[in-house]
Amino acid sequence: MISAQRRIVSFLMHNFHFRFQQLGFHVEPYDDLNKKIMMEKLREAAEADHTDADCFGCVFLSHGEESHVFAHDDMVDIKEITALFRGDQCKSLVGKPKIFIFQACRWDITDNAVAGMALNEMYSEVEEDAASVYTLPAGADFLMCYCVAEG
């Protein structure tokens, strides 16, 4: 018998797979990998030629703790994962978005709810000399998405 939690993960995996394919991504789903194989797959993805790609996306559906995500047999540090895709390691993704989505808890602490500001109350200022940047940090262009806030 399949647990309710397993059915939810299967549903989420199917939805991510379907939506990313609709967006034009090449999708390679993996299920229940141990740490060694997970890191091998990530290393292969980082070493692939992404010259013709507009961006890179990676989704984790798992459990987690603060700065780690769980593989089948061990925890994996998120910094260890993203380090593979930094500009000094993955040249074909320099200047391209690297999107990491972690559908994983980050502890069992709940966050407080707050009311947002109305749009007319927000202040925005444009950086005038932003175009004068000639180099990119190796860790640039990462978008890290978590299902819960840190804490």
* Residues taking part in catalysis: 63, 105
Measured CA to CA, the distance from residue 6 to residue 43 in angstroms comes to: 27
Q: Are strands 64-65 and 68-70 parallel, antiparallel or unpaired?
A: antiparallel
Instruction: Read off the tokens for 142.
Output: 């990462």
